[in-house]
Amino acid sequence: MSERTAVYPGSFDPVTLGHLDIIDRAALIFDRIVVGVLANSGKEPLFSVEERIDLLRRTIGERPRIDVTSFDGLTVDFARSQGASAIVRGLRVVSDFESEFQMALMNRRLNPEVNTVFLMTAFSNVFISSSIIKEVCRLGGDVGDVAPPESVSAMRRKFGLDG
Ligand code: PNS
């Protein structure tokens, strides 16, 4: 049987324990996961693409069969370039669903052969988002239980909270 590859696209600004949870769940289903950091999102990110990739790689550590790279343009084109048959997205709360559903249906129109697979995050990660974590960290709050240590130190450095 051929290898089943999925892409996991996102901003990852920075990677959270919620993202890591989805990566671990996806790895139980697919043979290879390619985490894709969107480079041209139009959003003003805190971290450069290189920094986000580096944080992801260090957080993922020795987990096998997981690659991290950046991409530009359409997610379906990224999926095709990686030989992926699926796009993985995490769902936290019902309010995520509407925009995710819209995106999944648009992606299916663009490439009917690529399916979006939604994975539900662990209950403990339901209220985690990179934006909230950045805000709490910037204001000096403790985010150690929702972000990996690599992201916490990188954020603290960016916000000038260390040293
Ligand atoms: O982590 P995010 O910000 O929720 O990720 C959003 C992402 C990167 C998955 C989405 O913006 C995306 O797929 N962008 C690439 C451009 C694209 O394919 N747009 C059409 C999707 S409907």
Residue 45 maps to which CATH number? 3.40.50.620
Asked if residue 110 belongs to a domain, the reply is yes
Check: CB of residue 30 under 8 Å from CB of residue 104. Answer: no
Q: What does pLDDT average to in each consecutive run of 10 residues of the chain (163 residues)?
A: 91 97 98 96 91 98 97 97 98 91 98 97 91 96 96 97 79
Nearest CA to ligand 1 atom 3: 11
Q: In this structure, are strands 66-71 and 32-38 parallel, antiparallel, or unpaired?
A: parallel
Cα–Cα distance measured from residue 162 to residue 160, given in angstroms and rounded to the nearest whole number: 6
Tell me whether residue 160 is in a domain. Answer: no
16 found inside a domain: yes
- Look at residue 40 in the predicted model and tell me its pLDDT: 81
Give me the pLDDT at residue 50, please: 97
pLDDT of residue 41: 76
pLDDT of residue 95: 85
What is the structure's pLDDT at 163? 62
User: What pLDDT score was predicted for residue 89?
Assistant: 98
Assess whether the C-beta atom of 91 lies below 6 angstroms from ligand 1: no
Domains held by the chain: number:
1
Q: How much is the pLDDT for 1?
A: 60
Amino acid present at 99: S
**Domain annotation covers residue 147:** no
The protein residue whose alpha carbon is closest to atom 17 in ligand 1 is: 74
The answer to the question of residue 52 being in a domain is yes
Q: Which residues are catalytic?
A: 19, 43, 92, 130
40 C-alpha vs ligand 1 centroid, how far in Å?
10
Which residue's alpha carbon is nearest to atom 8 within ligand 1?
10
Model pTM score: 0.96
Q: Does residue 133 sit within a domain?
A: no
Is 154 a member of any domain?
A: no
Q: How far is the CA of 162 from the centre of ligand 1 (A)?
A: 33
In a domain, 26, yes or no: yes
* Structural domain boundaries enclosing 97: 5-123
Reading phi first (left if > 0) and then psi (alpha if -120 to 50, else beta), residue 12 is in left
